[in-house]
Amino acid sequence: MFKFDVIYRIVLSIAVYDLGGGTFDISILEIQKGVFEVKSTNGDTLLGGEDFDNTIVNYLVAEFKKDTGIDITKDNIAMQRLKEAAEKAKCELSSSQQTDINLPYLTMDASGPQHMNLKMTRAKLESLVGDLIKRTIQPCQKALSDAEVSKTEIGEVLLVGGMTRMPKVQQTVQDLFGRQPSRAVNPDEAVAVGAAVQGGVLAGDVTDVLLLDVTPLSLGIETLGGVFTRLISRNTTIPTKKSQVFSTAADGQTQVEIKVHQGEREMAADNKLLGSFTLVGIPPAPRGVPQIEVVFDIDANGIVHVSAKDKGTGKEQQIVIQSGGGLSKDEIENMIKKAEEYAASDKKKRELIELVNQGESIVHDTETKMEEFKSQLPAEECEKLKKEIADLRTLLANKDTAEPEEVRKVTSQLQQSSLKLFEMAYKKMSAERESNASGSSSSEQTNSEEKKEGKN
Give pLDDT, residue 456.
Answer: 52
328 pLDDT above the threshold of 90: no
Give pLDDT, residue 25.
Answer: 92
Give pLDDT, residue 325.
Answer: 60
* Alpha-carbon separation of residue 354 from 186, 351, 358, 388 (angstroms): 52, 5, 6, 20
Q: Residue 5: pLDDT band by 50, 70, 90 thresholds?
A: very low
pLDDT of 24-81, one tens digit each?
999 999 888 777 888 888 988 889 999 999 999 999 999 999 988 999 998 999 999 9
User: Any idea what the Cα angle at residue 187 is, between residues 183 and 189, rounded to 5°?
Assistant: 120
Over residues 112-133, mean pLDDT: 93
Across all residues in the chain, what is the average pLDDT? 86
Q: Judge contact between 305 and 320, C-beta under 8 A.
A: yes
Give pLDDT, residue 440.
Answer: 56
Dihedral (CA of 99, 104, 108, 109) sign: positive
1 pLDDT above the threshold of 60: no
Predicted TM-score (pTM) of the model is: 0.63
Q: Residue 4: pLDDT band by 50, 70, 90 thresholds?
A: very low
pLDDT of 186-199, one tens digit each?
887 777 777 777 77
Give pLDDT, residue 11.
Answer: 66
Give pLDDT, residue 8.
Answer: 45
Give pLDDT, residue 222.
Answer: 95
Give pLDDT, residue 101.
Answer: 93
Q: How far apart are CA 69 and CA 65, in angstroms?
A: 4
What the chain holds in terms of domains, given with CATH numbers, is 4-47+135-212 (3.30.420.40), 49-131 (3.90.640.10), 219-341 (2.60.34.10), 343-438 (1.20.1270.10)
The answer to which of 219-223, 261-265, 312-316, 443-447 has the lowest mean pLDDT is 443-447
Q: Give the number of other CB atoms < 10 A from CB of residue 245.
A: 11
pLDDT of 134-165, one tens digit each?
999 999 999 999 999 999 999 999 999 989 99
Q: Judge contact between 251 and 298, C-beta under 8 A.
A: no
Give pLDDT, residue 207.
Answer: 66
Nearest to 422 by CA among 344, 384, 370: 370
* Share of residues in the chain with pLDDT > 70 (%): 89
The answer to which of 82-91, 215-224, 409-418 has the lowest mean pLDDT is 409-418
Q: Judge contact between 47 and 136, C-beta under 8 A.
A: yes
Give pLDDT, residue 175.
Answer: 95
pLDDT of 331-386, one tens digit each?
888 888 899 899 999 998 899 999 999 899 889 888 888 887 777 777 888 888 88
